[in-house]
């Protein structure tokens, strides 16, 4: 009665104006829910312009409240904890739990057995059943199972759960709210995860990109069980903005941790040793098992990146985690789904890693080990290292520059090549060592040589080289 007569709510000592029951003749009586931090007033029959959730209702009249298209009309003071809860409950069904398995031979019977290999995380990419995760989560697996949170319907409790029409599940938009259904979902605790249960599906490999540590799997799940994650953009991420990580650390499924974006533009190594650039750094706790899970915007819940690695002397979270940015994930995942493989430009040579080359006195550049016969590199005039008749190793070409990009190590080489496509022509500058035998003593001279080379193509690992046993 006091709320109806005054039409105001005291929240933490601040005055927040709310419409009274008598102010709108068509409105239903107000219902209030309280806790230590806020008073929430709800009605199902506010005029349209008062619908929605106000993020700054303090000191504002009802006519100043921002309109929203939300079906519910909850007005409350902004609560970061409630925002995290809302984002988690909306996004958790998009996060999957991965169990990987390998084969071992029994020492006594010599029979081949399937044994657990590890666990990881992933997220639903689309309503076709595509699941995105890290390549290193599945690279040694012979099979994998994906656990998805699926909705529980009333008719599931009363029958065997007959088929439902996928057309009523959701619209075709990628900005998805939770699916609607003709039957009411069962929930024992309001808007929570009580209306979901885990369901296991065998996974097939669609394609992988080891150089970017990205893999795309596919499960044969009905569309009403799939909740694609809401994609964001990593182009305008700023240090300090809130971030949330959801995953399965140490096998504890759907664990939420919170933090901030603590750095951008980082670089980590992929399983093949090639660099992954523009990686996000976060202090949200990431542990073994979080790999492949989503890093979310703490305000909107949109996907910012895919958790992939941590820096830790102990092996547990030390507050330094890394995520592949969503713009990179989006490009690679879309290509893998469409083509099943990634094609990248290469010089067509083999090289010696920088650590090994330094033992030979090569401190800058990339030493060419071998140039295949009849390759574009041989036609361009590049020369590899060789062993002379006397048994000594003759060092010849060291790559120093590609077009305008200076090459100091193999990481610089990979970054430079990412700018081009197979078939592009580039200028490669090498330092060529030549030797002269002067009285039994070899004297070396170095000179710069620039050649024009047509880039070849190299396909990443595809389903032909990584295929689960349960794949069709």
Q: What pLDDT is recorded for position 263? A: 94
Q: Which residues are catalytic?
A: 136, 213, 291
Per the CB < 8 A criterion, the answer to whether 95 and 122 are in contact is yes
3-state secondary structure 186-252: CCCCCCCCCCEEEEEEEEEEEEEEHHHCEEEEEECCCHHHCCCCCECCCCCCCCCCEEEEEECHHHC
Place of tokens 């996928």: 166
Task: Return the sign of the alpha-carbon dihedral for residues 135, 136, 141, 145.
Answer: negative
Quote the pLDDT of residue 62.
38
**What's the rounded Cα separation, in Å, for the pair 102 and 141?**
5
pLDDT reported for residue 389:
73
Number of H helices, E strands in the chain: 8, 27
C-alpha distances in angstroms, 246 versus 120, 200, 229, 424, 441? Answer: 11, 19, 12, 41, 65
How much is the pLDDT for 7? Answer: 46
Residues 6 or more apart from 121 whose CB is under 8 A from it? 95, 96, 97, 98, 133, 137, 246, 247, 248, 289, 290, 291, 292, 293, 307
Element (H, E) at 338: helix 326-339
Task: Give the whole-angstrom CA distance, residue 342 versus residue 439.
Answer: 53
Q: What is the pLDDT of residue 133?
A: 96
Name the fold adopted by 345-457.
Pdz3 Domain (2.30.42)
**CATH class of the domain at 241-339:** mainly beta
Tell me the domain boundaries of the chain.
Answer: 241-339, 345-457
Question: First vs last Cα of the chain: how many Å apart?
Answer: 66
Find all residues with CB under 8 Å of 203, minimum gap 6, and list them.
98, 131, 143, 144, 145, 146, 217, 218, 219, 468, 470
- pLDDT at residue 153 in the model: 60
DSSP lists the bridge partners of residue 268 as: 276
> What's the pLDDT score for residue 272?
86
The per-residue pLDDT for 88 is 92
Binned average pLDDT, 10 residues per bin, the chain of 472 residues = 42 37 39 39 32 35 38 52 90 93 77 80 95 93 89 56 41 40 36 69 93 94 92 92 94 92 92 89 92 94 94 74 95 93 90 85 89 91 84 85 92 89 93 71 77 84 54 44
pTM (2 d.p.):
0.67
């Amino acid at each position: 009665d006091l709320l109806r007569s005054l039409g105001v709510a005291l929240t933490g000592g601040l005055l927040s104006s709310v419409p009274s029951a008598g102010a709108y003749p068509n409105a239903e009586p107000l219902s209030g829910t309280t806790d230590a931090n806020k008073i929430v007033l709800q009605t199902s029959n506010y005029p349209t312009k008062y619908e929605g959730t106000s993020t700054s209702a303090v000191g504002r009249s009802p006519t100043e409240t921002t309109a929203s298209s939300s079906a519910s009309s909850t007005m409350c003071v902004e609560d970061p904890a409630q925002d995290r809860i809302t984002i988690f409950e909306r996004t958790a069904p998009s996060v999957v739990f991965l169990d990987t398995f390998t084969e071992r031979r029994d020492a006594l019977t010599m029979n081949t057995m399937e044994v657990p290999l590890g666990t990881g995380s992933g997220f639903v990419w689309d309503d076709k059943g595509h699941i995105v995760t890290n390549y290193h989560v599945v690279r040694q697996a012979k099979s994998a199972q994906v656990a998805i949170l699926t909705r529980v319907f009333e008719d599931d409790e009363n029958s065997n759960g007959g088929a439902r029409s996928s057309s009523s599940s959701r619209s075709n938009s990628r900005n998805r709210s939770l699916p609607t259904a003709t039957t009411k979902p069962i929930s024992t605790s309001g808007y929570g995860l009580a209306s979901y249960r885990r369901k296991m599906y065998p996974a097939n490999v669609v394609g992988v990109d080891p150089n970017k540590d990205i893999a795309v799997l596919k499960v044969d799940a009905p569309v009403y069980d799939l909740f694609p994650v809401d994609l964001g953009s990593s182009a305008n991420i700023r240090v300090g903005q809130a971030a949330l990580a959801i995953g399965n650390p140490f096998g504890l499924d759907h664990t939420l941790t919170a933090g901030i974006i603590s750095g951008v533009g980082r670089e980590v190594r992929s399983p093949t040793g090639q660099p992954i650039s523009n990686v996000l750094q976060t202090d949200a706790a990431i542990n073994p098992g979080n790999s492949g899970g989503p890093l979310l915007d703490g305000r909107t819940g949109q996907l910012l990146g895919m958790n992939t690695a941590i820096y830790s002397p102990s092996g547990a979270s030390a507050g330094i985690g890394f995520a592949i940015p969503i713009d990179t994930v989006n490009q690679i995942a879309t290509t893998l789904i469409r083509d099943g493989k990634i094609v990248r430009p290469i010089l067509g040579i083999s090289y010696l890693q920088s650590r090994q080359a330094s033992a030979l006195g090569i401190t800058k550049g990339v030493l060419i080990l071998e140039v295949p016969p009849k390759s574009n590199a041989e036609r361009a005039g590049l020369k590899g290292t060789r062993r002379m008749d006397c048994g000594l190793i003759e060092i010849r070409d060291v790559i120093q520059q590609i077009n305008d990009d200076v090459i100091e190590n193999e990481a610089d080489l990979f970054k430079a090549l990412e700018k081009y496509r197979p078939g592009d022509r580039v200028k490669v500058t090498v330092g060529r060592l030549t030797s002269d035998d002067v009285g039994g003593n070899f004297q070396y001279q170095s000179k710069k040589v620039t050649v024009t080379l047509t880039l070849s193509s190299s396909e990443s690992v595809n389903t032909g080289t990584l295929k689960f046993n349960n794949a069709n």
